[in-house]
Amino acid sequence: MAGRNHLYIPGPTNVPNEILNAMHITMEDHRSPAFPKLLTPLLEDLKKIFKTETGQAFVFPATGTAGWEVALTNTLNPGDKVLIYRFGQFSHLWAEMAKRLGFDVEIHQETWGKGIPLDKLEARLKEDSAHQIKAVLATHNETATGVTSDISGVRKAMNAANHPALLFVDGVSSIASLDFRMDEWAVDGAISGSQKGFMMPAGGAFLAFSQKALAATEACTYPRCFLDLRDQMTANKDGYTPYTPALPILYGLRKAIDMLLEEGLDNVFARHYRLAEGTRKAIAAWGLSICAQPGFESNTVTAIIVPEDKDARTVISTAFNKYNISLGGGLAELAGKAFRIGHVGDMNDVSMLGAIAGVEMALLDCGFDIKPGSGVAAAIEYYRATA
């Protein structure tokens, strides 16, 4: 098929040519005296994306999933209790990882479409007067359902309960796209990945840890090796890594951070809101609903619920096979019931209009009762009015 595939999944996202060019490098000596000139300022500037001055940033040649494991195994001891709310596939996977690693995982089920219930969290932490819960695991943006939780509210709930647990945040599909304030929200461990808001290929786990979390690494008895933060801290202080780094990831990250800071983080957040809002207006014009309940809507991904007599997988396959558009599928409980449109990373108004037009054609082909052009028109009017 002529033309390129149009990628509208919530990750991996489109990689700008500037980043691709930056990653196209010859190999170099990562033990040379010149290497710290790359790594040291890179780690400092990465802190700007996490919005932390007091924390420390790290880069692992891994994925966001590995980042989950880094947070757990570097600060907690075997058998420690952790608290997590499950409201989508990725909060589910983080909980399952914690169980497999031998932690005592307290899982609270929430409706898929909602986020972390702040009142319930505060009440549960107040009940834990003995402070058996050692960490709260918070999924900032649940990619499976298109739901964003209030991390500032999570911290307020923890403070109201006067609870000393560590706060770990999965920001894989939020950091570098949605407002995230590590210091202000007193986040102890923030986890992200290269393939979403950072606009890079998969292969980089980007993390930041508070001084409280770093201090916990010294008392942590959990066995770890490749994912040991202590090895990173020892090597990073001199501008090196404890093992051979993924050089293209580092050079790509350098360019990605430069691009994000040049645009301005507030502008990045505002752009993602506009892209998401235009998409939501198109969905409303089609007469369809989204998975996220009011107040929880994500600005990086939207999950669209199809009528009971339709199969979302048919929409996805039609969009791919007929129009060369990649959409996200419904995961786990949403399989066949929803499809997802990603509006994250290197996107603009016209990018999203292409996605909306392609989805609209696929919906019509699949027999959805919608008016041709309705979604595109709704998005056009919104984008024009807010440009």
- Whether 182 and 211 have beta carbons less than 8 Å apart is answered as no
Helix (H, G, I), strand (E, B) or coil at 326: strand
The pTM assigned to this predicted structure is: 0.97
CATH architecture of 17-262: 3-Layer(aba) Sandwich (3.40)
* 76 pLDDT tier (thresholds 50, 70, 90): very high
Residue 224 reports pLDDT greater than 90: yes
pLDDT digits (tens, 9 = 90+) for 260-317: 999 999 999 999 999 999 999 999 999 999 999 999 999 999 999 999 999 999 999 9
Superfamily of structural domain 6-12+265-386: Aspartate Aminotransferase, domain 1 (3.90.1150.10)
> Measured between alpha carbons, how far is residue 236 from residues 153, 194, 219, 222 in Å?
33, 19, 21, 22
pLDDT on residue 4 = 87
Note the pLDDT of residue 60. 98
Q: In what order do the strands lie in the sheet with 325-329?
A: 6-8, 325-329, 338-342, 301-305, 289-290
Which residue in 364, 194, 348, 151 sits closest to 263, CA to CA? 348
Q: Are 27 and 247 in contact (CB under 8 A)?
A: yes
Share of the chain above pLDDT 90, in %: 99
pLDDT number for residue 3: 85
Q: Is the pLDDT of residue 51 over 80?
A: yes
Per-residue pLDDT averaged across 222-239, rounded?
Answer: 97
Residue 2 reports pLDDT greater than 90: no
Mean pLDDT for the stretch of residues 125-137? 98
3-state secondary structure of 62: coil
Indicate whether 1 pLDDT > 80: no
- Determine the average pLDDT of the residues in 59-74: 97
Task: List where CATH 3.40.640.10 sits in the chain.
Answer: 17-262
Q: Please state, in angstroms and rounded to a whole number, the distance separating the CA atoms of residues 48 and 161.
A: 30
Supply the pLDDT for residue 246: 96
pLDDT (average), residues 103-130: 98
User: Which part of the chain has CATH 3.90.1150.10?
Assistant: 6-12+265-386
Confidence at residue 236, expressed as pLDDT on a 0 to 100 scale: 98
pLDDT digits (tens, 9 = 90+) for 165-190: 999 999 999 999 999 999 999 999 99
